[in-house]
């Protein structure tokens, strides 16, 4: 049974309502089909910059204080995010304050002034955000990893952009980008939580019907080129070596993505996974080690990330590659497969207890895949994966020409050839 409703207005705006009348909260989530993959080199970072500017003042709420005070005054939570393919804005409140959230989020989304002075001030804020990421290896290593995979094209650029770009953005550029990407047909409003479906839908229509339709921005096709293992060394004096070791995978529309997700769980998805036990518990090499999958509309990958003592880099890489190779050459057990399936279904079910995750679950599927599966339908796809499916995926991805290693630590470029020799499968 579908526990959501999707409505498309005349202007192309999609409204998704996910009622859960027993819930105490309501979340309003706006998703826009744009991000850094829709940018050119000259304006890389503008999607993220624009996201910040929605919080700088409207006619009704002319200051940042008046914007933040609105939801702070009712104990609400709110934020925004930008990724390579999605920009989002959300507000979560006690269901008694649903109108406050709708009025607030529609106001910043439709009526932001993009004031020149605020723009100049925000440049300083975002530069410090850049500096924070550069000083946070656990976050920055992910950017370096994607840069290694995709190189000098939108998929390989940082979402936040380069400092030179951030400092050069003009009001005209920001407004032009807004007009060309924030079209009604490229926007989804998803509202989830403790309201009746009809009530939710009417409220959204009354607040958002005036979103304008315009031509939508396009993104370039990602080009993947690799025929041997690749390595990237980023020199930095750190207390730990941080690395991402992984392989190219599958996009959102590939039928093998469920098997890939289960494979990642078996490898390093939780505290009883192979790599957590092998690298942390048996060898004491890492506090944190985790394997995850990223699936975009056009590309994807599987990656293992860890932070370790500098002297343990080679051993850690060897241990991870041992598990990659073992999965390629030997079948997993039925017990391992079932545990991974139950884990994914369990964490999904737990997350859907909250209205914000409900909104994201349905909204993101509609935006990126233009197709919504209920949790039950997703679980059926997970349950259908076999041991043979897992091994076929392992045989396909765990090969030398798909493997990559990105490293942050006190390593000179001269060491790359020695480290590259480790990347054998």
Q: Report the distance separating Cα 29 and Cα 397, nearest Å.
A: 35
Residue 24, SS3 per DSSP: coil
**373-419 residue pLDDT tens:** 999 999 999 999 999 999 999 999 999 999 999 999 999 988 899 89
- Least confident stretch, 191-200, 206-215, 233-242, 296-305: 206-215
Using alpha carbons, select from 182, 183, 193 the residue that is nearest to residue 22. Answer: 193
Give the whole-number percent of the chain exceeding pLDDT 70.
100
Radius of gyration, alpha carbons of the chain: 23
Write the CB contacts of 387 (distance below 8 Å, at least 6 apart in sequence).
331, 332, 333, 334, 337
Q: What is the pLDDT of residue 414?
A: 84
CB hemisphere CA count around 52 (13 angstroms):
21
Q: What is the pLDDT of residue 217?
A: 78
Question: Which residues face 396 on adjacent strands?
Answer: none
Q: What is the pLDDT of residue 279?
A: 98
Q: Report the distance separating Cα 156 and Cα 46, nearest Å.
A: 15
Q: What is the pLDDT of residue 105?
A: 97
Superfamily of domain 230-420: Metalloenzyme, LuxS/M16 peptidase-like (3.30.830.10)
Backbone angle region of 2, left / alpha / beta, with phi > 0 → left and psi within -120 to 50 → alpha: beta
Using alpha carbons, select from 383, 270, 381 the residue that is nearest to residue 337. Answer: 383
**121-164 residue pLDDT tens:** 999 999 999 999 999 999 999 999 999 999 999 999 999 999 99
Whether residue 63 is predicted with pLDDT greater than 60 in this model: the reply is yes
**262-311 residue pLDDT tens:** 999 999 999 999 999 999 999 999 999 999 999 999 999 999 999 999 99
Burial state string for 56-82 with b = 16 or more CB within 10 A and e = fewer than 16: bbbeebeeeeebeebbeeeebebebeb
Tokens of 157: 């650029």
**78-97 residue pLDDT tens:** 999 999 999 999 999 999 99
Whether residue 247 is predicted with pLDDT greater than 70 in this model: the reply is yes
Whether residue 2 is predicted with pLDDT greater than 80 in this model: the reply is no
Q: What is the pLDDT of residue 406?
A: 98
Catalytic residue among 51, 118, 201, 230: 51
Q: Is 51 a catalytic residue?
A: yes
Write out the H or E segment, with its range, that includes residue 192.
Answer: strand 187-193
Write the CB contacts of 220 (distance below 8 Å, at least 6 apart in sequence).
37, 153, 154
Q: Report the distance separating Cα 57 and Cα 61, nearest Å.
A: 6
Q: Report the distance separating Cα 110 and Cα 208, nearest Å.
A: 8
Task: Find the largest Cα–Cα distance for the chain.
Answer: 64
Domain 5-208: state its class: alpha beta
* CATH fold match for the domains 5-208 and 230-420: yes
Region 352-375 average pLDDT = 97
Q: What is the pLDDT of residue 60?
A: 97
The domain locations on the chain are 5-208, 230-420
Q: Quick one: angle between helices 375-383 and 257-268, nearest 10?
A: 80
Average per-residue pLDDT in the chain?
Answer: 96
């Amino acid at each position: 049974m579908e526990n959501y409703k999707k409505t498309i207005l005349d202007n192309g705006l999609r409204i998704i309502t996910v009622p859960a009348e027993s819930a105490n909260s309501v979340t309003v989530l706006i998703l826009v089909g744009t991000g850094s993959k829709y940018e050119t080199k000259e304006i890389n970072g503008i999607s993220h910059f624009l996201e910040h500017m929605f919080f700088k003042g409207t006619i009704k709420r002319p200051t940042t204080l008046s914007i933040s005070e609105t939801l702070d005054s009712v104990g609400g939570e709110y934020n925004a995010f930008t990724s390579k393919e999605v920009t989002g804005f959300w507000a979560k409140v006690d269901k008694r304050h649903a109108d406050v959230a709708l009025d607030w989020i529609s106001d910043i989304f439709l009526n932001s002034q993009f004031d020149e002075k605020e723009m100049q001030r925000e440049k300083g804020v975002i530069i410090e955000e850049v500096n924070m990421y550069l000083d946070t290896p656990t976050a920055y290593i992910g950017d370096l990893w994607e840069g290694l995979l995709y190189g000098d094209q939108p998929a390989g650029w940082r979402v936040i952009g380069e400092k030179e770009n951030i400092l050069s953005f003009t009001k005209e550029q920001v407004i032009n980008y807004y007009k060309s990407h924030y079209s009604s047909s490229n926007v989804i409003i998803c509202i989830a939580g403790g309201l009746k479906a009809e009530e939710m839908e009417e409220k959204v229509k009354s607040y958002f019907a005036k979103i304008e339709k315009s031509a939508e921005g396009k993104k370039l096709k990602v080009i993947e080129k690799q025929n041997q293992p690749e390595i990237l060394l980023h020199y930095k004096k750190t207390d730990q070596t941080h690395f991402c070791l992984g392989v190219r995978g599958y996009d959102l529309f590939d039928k093998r993505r469920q098997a890939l997700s289960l494979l990642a769980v078996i490898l390093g998805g939780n505290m009883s996974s192979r790599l957590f036990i092998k690298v942390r518990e048996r060898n004491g090499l890492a506090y944190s080690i985790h394997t995850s999958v990223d699936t975009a509309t056009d590309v994807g990958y599987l990656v293992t990330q860890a932070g370790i003592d500098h002297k343990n880099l080679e051993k850690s890489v060897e241990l991870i590659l041992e598990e990659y190779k073992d999965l390629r050459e030997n079948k997993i057990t039925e017990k391992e497969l079932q545990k991974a399936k139950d884990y994914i279904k369990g964490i999904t079910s737990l997350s859907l207890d909250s209205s914000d995750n409900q909104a994201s679950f349905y909204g993101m599927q509609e935006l990126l895949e233009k197709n919504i599966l209920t949790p039950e339908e997703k679980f059926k796809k997970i349950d259908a994966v076999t041991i043979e499916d897992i091994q076929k995926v392992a045989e396909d991805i765990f090969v030398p020409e798909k493997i990559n290693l990105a490293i942050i630590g006190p390593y000179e470029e001269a060491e790359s050839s020695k480290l590259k020799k480790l990347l054998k499968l």
